[in-house]
C-alpha cells in the first residue's frame, strides 16, 4: 500500500506545484502575495468546462481556459495591482482580496453554487503491480504537470524574458534604467502564473472528476499557500518540492490515518514545520529593495 499512496501523493502534489509556482513567481519579484490567484484561475477552469460541454476539442478547451486566465490576470495586474504597487503591503493585499471576491461572484453569477462533473472523455485503465493498483490517469497527470514545470523553469532560466524577471526581482528601478520593460515583464509573470494555475486546476478537476465554485480558494489560497510555506516563499524550487511534500503528507495521512481528519493533520504538520524551519526548506534569496 505504501507504493499506492506514494503514487497518489506524487500525482496530486504535482498539481499543487503548478499553482504554487504562480504564487512564488509574483512574490519573487514584488514580495507581494497575490491572494486573487486562485479565484482568477478558477474562472479559467470553468471556461475550460464550458468549452468541453460545447464539444470543443480537449486541447482547444484547455488552451482556451489557460488563455482566459492569462488575459484576465493581465487586466487585474494593470487595473488593480499596478496603481498600488508601491503603496506598501496592506493596500495591494486589500486589492487582491477584493478581486478574489469579484471573480468568485462572477463564477456564482454564471455557473451557480453547484458542483459539476468534469469528464474529459478519457477512459482510465488500471494497472496492477503486485498489490498496487493505480490508474493511468494518475500517470498522465504527473507527467503533464512535470512537463509544464520544466517548461516554465526553462523559460525563466534560459531565455531573455527569464533573465529580465531575475533582474526585476533584484531591483525594479535598476532594471528600468537598464532598458528592461518592467511593467510588461511583471504583467507577463502575472499572466503566466494564472495560465499555469488553470492547467493545475484542470488537472485537479480531472483527478477528482468534479469542479465547484470554491476550487480557487481551496487550491489557490489554501493548498498553494501551504506548499509555498513548506518550500520557501519566493523560491520556485521550494514551491515544487513543498507541493510534492504536501501531496505526499495528504496521501499518507488519508491512507494510514483517516480522510476525515486529513486536513487537521496536515495543518498540524505545517504548524510544527514552521516552528522548526519558519523560512521553509529552500528560502529564496531575495535582495532587499532600497
Domain boundaries, the chain: 2-276
Q: Is the Cβ–Cβ distance between 38 and 219 less than 8 Å?
A: yes
**Which pLDDT band, with edges at 50, 70 and 90, does 191 fall under?**
very high
The CATH class given to the 2-276 domain equals mainly alpha
Single pTM value for the model: 0.88
Q: Going by C-beta distance under 8 Å and a sequence separation of 6 or more, which residues neighbour residue 195?
A: 44, 66, 67, 69, 70
Q: Going by C-beta distance under 8 Å and a sequence separation of 6 or more, which residues neighbour residue 147?
A: none
Q: Supply the angle between the helices 160-170 and 2-30 in degrees, to the nearest 10.
A: 70
Digit-coded pLDDT (tens) for 24-69: 888 877 777 788 888 998 999 999 999 999 999 999 999 999 999 9
Helix (H, G, I), strand (E, B) or coil at 260: coil
Digit-coded pLDDT (tens) for 81-116: 889 888 877 888 889 889 999 999 999 999 999 999
Amino acid at each position: 500500500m505504501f507504493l499506492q499512496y506514494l503514487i497518489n501523493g506524487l500525482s496530486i502534489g504535482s498539481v499543487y506545484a503548478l499553482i504554487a509556482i504562480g504564487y512564488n513567481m509574483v512574490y519573487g519579484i514584488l514580495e507581494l502575495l497575490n491572494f486573487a490567484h486562485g479565484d482568477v484561475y478558477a474562472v479559467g477552469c470553468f471556461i475550460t468546462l464550458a468549452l468541453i460541454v460545447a464539444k470543443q476539442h480537449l486541447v482547444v478547451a484547455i488552451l482556451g481556459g489557460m488563455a482566459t486566465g492569462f488575459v484576465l490576470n493581465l487586466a487585474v495586474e494593470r487595473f488593480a495591482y499596478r496603481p498600488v504597487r508601491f503603496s506598501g503591503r496592506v493596500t495591494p493585499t486589500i486589492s487582491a482580496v477584493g478581486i478574489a471576491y469579484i471573480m468568485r461572484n462572477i463564477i456564482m453569477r454564471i455557473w451557480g453554487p453547484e458542483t459539476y462533473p468534469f469528464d474529459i472523455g478519457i477512459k482510465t485503465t488500471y494497472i496492477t503491480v503486485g498489490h498496487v493498483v493505480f490508474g493511468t490517469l494518475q500517470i498522465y497527470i504527473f507527467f503533464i504537470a512535470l512537463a509544464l514545470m520544466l517548461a516554465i523553469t526553462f523559460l525563466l532560466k534560459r531565455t531573455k524574458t527569464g533573465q529580465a524577471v531575475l533582474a526585476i526581482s533584484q531591483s525594479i528601478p535598476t532594471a528600468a534604467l537598464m532598458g528592461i520593460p518592467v511593467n510588461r515583464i511583471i504583467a507577463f509573470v502575472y499572466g503566466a502564473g494564472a495560465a499555469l494555475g488553470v492547467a493545475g486546476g484542470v488537472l485537479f478537476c480531472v483527478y477528482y472528476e468534479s469542479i465547484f465554485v470554491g476550487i480557487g480558494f481551496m487550491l489557490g489560497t489554501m493548498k498553494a499557500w501551504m506548499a509555498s510555506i513548506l518550500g520557501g516563499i519566493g523560491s520556485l524550487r521550494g514551491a515544487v518540492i513543498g507541493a510534492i511534500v504536501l501531496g505526499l503528507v495528504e496521501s499518507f495521512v488519508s491512507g494510514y490515518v483517516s480522510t476525515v481528519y486529513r486536513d487537521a493533520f496536515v495543518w498540524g504538520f505545517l504548524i510544527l514545520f514552521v516552528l522548526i524551519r519558519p523560512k521553509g526548506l529552500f528560502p529564496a534569496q531575495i535582495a532587499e529593495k532600497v
